[in-house]
Structure 1
Amino acid sequence: MRIARVLATVVLFGALPAFQGGDRPEVDPPSRVGRLSYLGGSVSFRPGDADDWAAATVNYPLHGGDHLWTDADARAEITLGSTALRLAPYTASGFLALDDHTTQVRLSQGSLSVRLRNLDDEDSFEIDTPNGAVSLLRPGSYRVDVDSTGDTATVTVRRGEAEVTAAGSAFTVKRDQAAVVSGTDSPSYDIRDALPPNDWEEWCASRDRRWDDSRSARYVSRETIGYEDLDEHGDWRDTPDYGPVWVPHPVMAGWAPYRYGHWAWVEPWGWTWIDDASWGFAPFHYGRWVYWDGSWVWVPGHVVARPVYAPALVVFVGGRNWSLAITSGGVAGVAWFPLAPEEPYVPAYHVSNTYIRNVNVTNVNVTNINVTNINVTNINYRNRAAPGAVTVVSQQTFVQSRPVGRSVLVVPRERIEQATVIGTTAAVAPGRRSVLAQPEIVTVRRPPAVVTTRTVVVRRTPPPPPVPFAARQQALRAQPGRPLDAAALASLRARTPAARPNVFVRPAVPAAAGAGPAPTLRPAREGVPPARAVPPPTVAAPQLEKRPPAVPAADRPAADRPAPPAAAPEQHPGRAERPKPATPPTPPTPPAERPERPGRAEHPAPTVAPAERPGRAEHPAPAARAAERPVKAERPAPAATPAPAPTPAPAARPEAAERLQPQGERRPPPAAKQRPEKDRKAEKDTAKEKKPKEDKPKEDKPDRHE
């Protein structure tokens, strides 16, 4: 039986780091990344904030803006929790966007396989090709191919359902079907039966079975990135103090966590640990380590639905005088040790209090933490006295991403005991090698320029790419070890031409403008179902820099709150942009036809600890939103609306109407915007005189899982 140690309330009245964001989840980094989990052959990598290509490294955390190239006979695998993406040879791919709810992949050439196990209603998964944007609508198995000329894209659905959008139209690809889209300006499409899987897809299926049969899923969430590698490289044990723990094997004499790997600078988190071990992702970005019964064990902690990724769960020690005392060849030293269970992790990057709670929820009793006054320098850390826990290297080894295990400095124990805790980051500015995560800058194979500059079609407008490191480097030197905040990045992007790189995208649904004929998506032959017209977008894609006003209208009383303008709907990245079936909507698949999630029924479900979701804490629940806007809910429906249909919201806020409708209704509200303005005004005045009714809360729709 697990004996949970309760951490006493941490209220330390030291100076709070100035980079904490209070209750502002919009400043938080994503809670997940894309782990490079397998590399075979020559695979090259280009960070989103650099122009150089480098050799890809296993366990590197990919995020928005990063790109990969697999050369001849090469393969690569990227995992995002329970989702896996796999690249065949001669494939150019990257992330246009990757956050808590949005996965947007660029595929300009080659073959991409996707095994999608979970897809919540608020999530969006999009693959953008030169010929069209592919939206995955259900959990399943998918393959997308783009030929070397970029003129043809093939979408194969083994299980699930996808929607292809191009030239203002969309069509659906169902299970065991393949769609071929040809051309870019005026594309045509064909739908046929899918071909049998080839050898590469069989390899992908063999990798999938590692997830399906994993024993570790009994002890950690399936959204823990890298959990599938634990079975082959360690054993699970039950302890009286920490509950289930994982023990790696085999390990060399003197092995300690965070010693065999290297450091890299990865925005927006900053200094990030890249472990050398094939299993070295989950145990170094989630949970805690502790020296127990003569060896190091990993403590995953309580199970939560989606744990929050952290760059490195360590504490750095040293200080100015101590660093100078261990100089090696004129270069100061950097030292660190792993956090133990119940010791809070307070990021050095810019986050909200909600984020701090969520990143600690698996290993710390967050109800007893006053995150307003945490001082990490004033905690009695358990692992500091553990045998060999503290690792020391020269600053040059640290900054240049050199292998740590080969360069460890031997420091007398009394000197380590004299060192003071300086926080969860090293006060060291990154360099070019830190960004590329390579100790040496060497020439690697890279995709042809025509492939990297090839325009892809997007359904969802991606966020701006990261500000290049060259434009940020001077500002980073002024605050060593800390990434820049959103305001500093916005300033650099606005005044630095080099900070506005071209991302080579064009919309799948052009805006309604111009007098010339719009391109259309045409069936390639008779008998192919016609594509559905997709209405042009009416609002710009949400961006981080576009923040709501200091006193939003939503905070005013309902009677005094003016109707919001049509061009400024409430922004929810990934939710508003999620493609929905065109009118008439496609009926939902009966439960009997949905693929079951493999492996779930075979394992007992662990107790899930409650956790707040980063970036969503400030949004009221659907029922609460309805209660705030009773006048809108009372507005009578247009005459053309059938009686059983739910009452639509004003035309200026169509997304509000969707929230008030039952989940089964996915069709847009009637085109009220075409009615005369004076009629709408009269209706609005009439609605204000009515006594608001209590809105019926919307029934929650269960998440979709495979």
Structure 2
Amino acid sequence: MKIVRMVMAVLLLAVPVAGWGAELGIVRLSLVDGDVQVQAQDADEWVPAVANMPLAEGDRIWVPEGGRTELQIRGGCYLRLDAGSSLDIVAARNESLQFYLAEGRAYINNRKGGTKRIQMDAPDASTVIADNSIVMVDADYDGNIGVPVIRGHVLVDTERGTVRVPAGRSLRIDYEGGTELAPLDPPDEWLAWNRNQDRRLETAAESLRYVPVELEDYAYDLDDYGRWHYLPEYGYVWAPRLSLSAGWSPYRQGRWVWVRGDYVWISYEPWGWAPYHYGRWTHTPRFGWCWVPPARGAAWWGPGYVGWVHTPESVAWVPLAPGDIYYGYGNFGPNSVNIVNATVSRSAVRHYRNIRVRNAVTVIHSDTFIKGKQQRVAVRGNLFTARVGSVGPPRFRPERETRRPVFKSVPAVKRPPERLSRPKRHDAPEQRRHAPDGKGAVILPGRPAGELPVVRREAPKQPAVKPAAPAMKNRDIRGGKPLAPAVRYRESQGVAVKGDRGDEQVKRRSRPRDGRTMTPPLSPSPATALPAAHDNPQPAVTAPPNPQPKRSRPPRQRPAAVIQQTGSAEGRPPGQGGEKREKGEHGITAAPASPSVKQPANTPQGEERKEHKGREEWKKEGAR
């Protein structure tokens, strides 16, 4: 017995911690699709992520290929990440938040009445998003940034100045500092998916009548997975609607995970956020287990409102009923006691209402509690009524398994790339200034406020025609993930220019960095823009200001290798011309001379041969 006590004394860790209720209750993962991974600030490894996982300052998120995730922020804000995205939570407070998007695509829906201000940093720009705004921020590894604003407005700060981007406009910044303000591009699959998610948030109806205003953000979960009942003692209570086993009870389908100095309950049930971190539970003969929401003004987030009793060999917990006192390490609102510097008597937990409900108390071995296997053990009697054990959350020293919310293996190709393991010094998120008031420069503090010079366009950029290339042409050679549509356009080595004879690829290469071909300029220069070849052209790239006037048809004696006439049937043999047009309306397209290109039939040489053949036939006809 002495040996057992000595071993458990090493495992027991009495570390006084402050209350993390306010910090851990601000951001949670509300949706996880694919092998999303999280690296906590106090951990040195990436762990698989699950829904209902709380996040805090310093945590990092990686979304690999084929994955997507959604962050729900208290106050009505939602932040979603597409595949190939890396996000750091720099600051998480009640009134303002700061994120760092190293690369990828983020969609931020800061609904009306939500977070007052959100700052989304990127390697070379910072975007301050106001309340009641919907914004997308795109960033790639080469330093190109896009900020489309769907609703509201944002302020984008760079080293060269600040610009205000209103709704319906998109700001593009290339790696060389070139900026362009243009209308929004046509919707793609990423935007359509986000709009569908937004519509889901507006379907909540019944639960809004019964939950306090602080919990309205979770009403749609309650509507989807449960129903409301009226109890004379508590009013309206919520019960899960899914088919549950006979031995089911709250705080069973999930795991206790060590998060920022305390054990936090992470539920595997899709509705398991509000019912496990707010309010209390009660059991009724008619409806079974029911969740009692907190009163308005008393909605305090907690790591898991259960009563604890633990011994060196076992750990037991039970859901707390309304009125029961929660003993934990921190301040978690009414009906809670901070036991950081206090000792709780064993008699304090003998009067919990739910300890006599069948299957309400969960008991597992202390070893399995640390490892996460959650194997129940058979004990004699009830630990809450016995005279052994300590009251309060266990203080077992956390191990590697204790920090993992779920046990599953992640393929090597889905793990974060090496470049994200340690950010570069000039890209370190913590070195970026936080501007909660939206005033002053973010990237260069102390710089006088100045307007960022931008090139303004009034037409959206048309998608470029994809050149014929192998399947890997549109894949990122750095990570193997598919590029976003905007990135595919920039990474392609040319811009499609539409002509009468089809689309030709005009290649424009930019300054290489580290031996790689970089993004071309966002707008064509006068030297690279070609005149349109249609009567009402719709070119893929908008011509620069003061475009060249349309040229007339050149004389026939001009070399055919330089000018190629298209679009007119005049002067062509029957069946070889296009649609008939009036004289002088056919366009011209410059084409480089190539030995492999055959001479067209309407070249000067071809016209001379046709004229000679006509004279010979006329002579024969006259002789007859």
TM-score scaled by length of structure 1: 0.55
- What does 1:648-687 align with in structure 2 at a 5 Å threshold? none
Question: The residue matched to 1:310 in structure 2 has which SS?
Answer: coil
Q: How far apart are residue 222 of structure 1 and its match? A: 5.5
Give the equivalent residue in structure 2 for 1:192: 182
Give the equivalent residue in structure 2 for 1:329: none
Give the equivalent residue in structure 1 for 2:198: 208
- How far, CA to CA, are the matches of 2:432 and 2:136 in structure 1? 20
Give the equivalent residue in structure 2 for 1:410: 378
Question: The residue matched to 1:418 in structure 2 has which SS?
Answer: coil
- How far, CA to CA, are the matches of 2:300 and 2:158 in structure 1? 35
Retained in 2: the 8 A contact 1:316–1:425? yes
Retained in 2: the 8 A contact 1:318–1:421? yes
Give the equivalent residue in structure 1 for 2:394: 426
Q: 1:508 to 1:187 in 2, by over 3 A?
A: farther
- How far, CA to CA, are the matches of 2:410 and 2:107 in structure 1? 30
1:677-700 Cα offsets, whole Å, 9 max, x none, are: xxxxxxxxxxxxxxxxxxxxxxxx
- 1:461 aligned to which of 427, 430, 433: 433
What code does the residue aligned with 1:44 have? Q
Question: The residue matched to 2:326 in structure 1 has which SS?
Answer: coil
Matched, 1:393 2:364: yes
- 2:418 aligned to which of 443, 449, 453: 449
Question: The residue matched to 1:69 in structure 2 has which SS?
Answer: strand
Q: 1:296 to 1:126 in 2, by over 3 A?
A: same
Q: How far apart are residue 439 of structure 1 and its match? A: 4.3
Question: The residue matched to 1:39 in structure 2 has which SS?
Answer: strand
Retained in 1: the 8 A contact 2:154–2:166? yes
What code does the residue aligned with 2:354 have? N
- What does 1:186-585 align with in structure 2 at a 5 Å threshold? 187-214=177-204, 215-221=206-212, 223-224=214-215, 226-249=218-241, 250-268=243-261, 270-294=262-286, 295-304=288-297, 307-319=299-311, 323=312, 332-349=313-330, 355-356=331-332, 359-360=333-334, 364=335, 375=344, 377=346, 378-379=348-349, 380-402=351-373, 404=374, 407-414=375-382, 417-418=385-386, 422-439=390-407, 445-451=414-420, 453=423, 455=427, 461=433, 508-512=442-446, 522-525=452-455
Question: The residue matched to 1:256 in structure 2 has which SS?
Answer: coil
1:162-200 Cα offsets, whole Å, 9 max, x none, are: 1111216211111111111223xx733221111233222
Q: After the TM superposition, which of the residue ranges 94-103 and 443-452 deviates more from structure 2? A: 443-452
Q: 1:420 to 1:85 in 2, by over 3 A?
A: farther
Retained in 2: the 8 A contact 1:317–1:334? yes
- How far, CA to CA, are the matches of 1:346 and 1:415 in structure 2? 16
Question: The residue matched to 1:434 in structure 2 has which SS?
Answer: helix
Retained in 2: the 8 A contact 1:315–1:422? no
Retained in 2: the 8 A contact 1:79–1:226? no
- 2:50 aligned to which of 57, 63, 73: 57
- How far, CA to CA, are the matches of 2:382 and 2:48 in structure 1? 40
Q: How far apart are residue 108 of structure 1 and its match? A: 0.8
Retained in 1: the 8 A contact 2:49–2:406? no
Matched, 1:96 2:86: no
- How far, CA to CA, are the matches of 2:230 and 2:55 in structure 1? 33
Retained in 1: the 8 A contact 2:16–2:341? no
1:389-415 Cα offsets, whole Å, 9 max, x none, are: 11011112211233x3xx222333355
1:590-621 Cα offsets, whole Å, 9 max, x none, are: xxxxxxxxxxxxxxxxxxxxxxxxxxxxxxxx
What code does the residue aligned with 1:108 have? A
Retained in 2: the 8 A contact 1:47–1:67? yes
What code does the residue aligned with 1:388 have? N
What code does the residue aligned with 1:203 have? W
Aligned length: 429
Q: How far apart are residue 461 of structure 1 and its match? A: 3.1
Q: After the TM superposition, which of the residue ranges 32-41 and 412-421 deviates more from structure 2? A: 412-421
Give the equivalent residue in structure 2 for 1:128: 121
Q: How far apart are residue 251 of structure 1 and its match? A: 1.3
Higher relative contact order by CA 8 Å / sep ≥ 6: 1 or 2? 1
- How far, CA to CA, are the matches of 1:440 and 1:527 in structure 2? 49
Q: 1:416 to 1:345 in 2, by over 3 A?
A: closer
- How far, CA to CA, are the matches of 2:67 and 2:249 in structure 1? 32
Retained in 1: the 8 A contact 2:180–2:454? yes
Q: How far apart are residue 117 of structure 1 and its match? A: 1.6
Q: 1:372 to 1:343 in 2, by over 3 A?
A: farther
1:24-83 Cα offsets, whole Å, 9 max, x none, are: x9x975262322111112212211222211211221111111111111121111112321
What code does the residue aligned with 1:461 have? R
Q: How far apart are residue 458 of structure 1 and its match? A: 7.9
Retained in 1: the 8 A contact 2:309–2:383? no
What code does the residue aligned with 2:164 have? T
Question: The residue matched to 2:201 in structure 1 has which SS?
Answer: helix
Q: 1:222 to 1:204 in 2, by over 3 A?
A: farther
- How far, CA to CA, are the matches of 2:345 and 2:223 in structure 1? 34
- 1:46 aligned to which of 39, 60, 64: 39
- How far, CA to CA, are the matches of 1:230 and 1:28 in structure 2? 22
Q: 1:423 to 1:130 in 2, by over 3 A?
A: same
Q: How far apart are residue 104 of structure 1 and its match? A: 1.1
Question: The residue matched to 1:64 in structure 2 has which SS?
Answer: coil
Retained in 2: the 8 A contact 1:117–1:139? yes
Give the equivalent residue in structure 2 for 1:72: 65
Question: The residue matched to 1:97 in structure 2 has which SS?
Answer: strand
Retained in 2: the 8 A contact 1:289–1:297? yes
1:76-104 Cα offsets, whole Å, 9 max, x none, are: 11112321111111111121111222211
Give the equivalent residue in structure 1 for 2:549: none
- How far, CA to CA, are the matches of 1:60 and 1:522 in structure 2? 39
Retained in 2: the 8 A contact 1:129–1:456? no
Which consecutive unaligned segments of at least 5 residues does structure 1 have?
1-16, 324-331, 350-354, 464-506, 529-706
- How far, CA to CA, are the matches of 1:313 and 1:441 in structure 2? 30
- 1:116 aligned to which of 104, 110, 118: 110
Give the equivalent residue in structure 2 for 1:677: none
- How far, CA to CA, are the matches of 2:431 and 2:129 in structure 1? 12
Q: How far apart are residue 238 of structure 1 and its match? A: 1.5
- How far, CA to CA, are the matches of 1:263 and 1:334 in structure 2? 11
Query: Once the two structures are aligned, what percentage of the paired residues are identical?
Result: 27
- How far, CA to CA, are the matches of 2:42 and 2:353 in structure 1? 37
Give the equivalent residue in structure 2 for 1:157: 149
Question: The residue matched to 2:118 in structure 1 has which SS?
Answer: strand
Question: The residue matched to 2:403 in structure 1 has which SS?
Answer: helix
- How far, CA to CA, are the matches of 1:37 and 1:187 in structure 2? 36
Retained in 2: the 8 A contact 1:318–1:419? no
Question: The residue matched to 2:187 in structure 1 has which SS?
Answer: coil
Q: 1:298 to 1:116 in 2, by over 3 A?
A: same
Q: 1:53 to 1:318 in 2, by over 3 A?
A: closer
- How far, CA to CA, are the matches of 2:87 and 2:15 in structure 1? 38
Which consecutive unaligned segments of at least 5 residues does structure 2 have?
1-13, 436-440, 459-624
Retained in 1: the 8 A contact 2:62–2:84? yes
Question: The residue matched to 1:411 in structure 2 has which SS?
Answer: coil
Q: 1:276 to 1:146 in 2, by over 3 A?
A: same
- How far, CA to CA, are the matches of 2:372 and 2:223 in structure 1? 29
Q: How far apart are residue 333 of structure 1 and its match? A: 1.3
- How far, CA to CA, are the matches of 1:424 and 1:242 in structure 2? 26
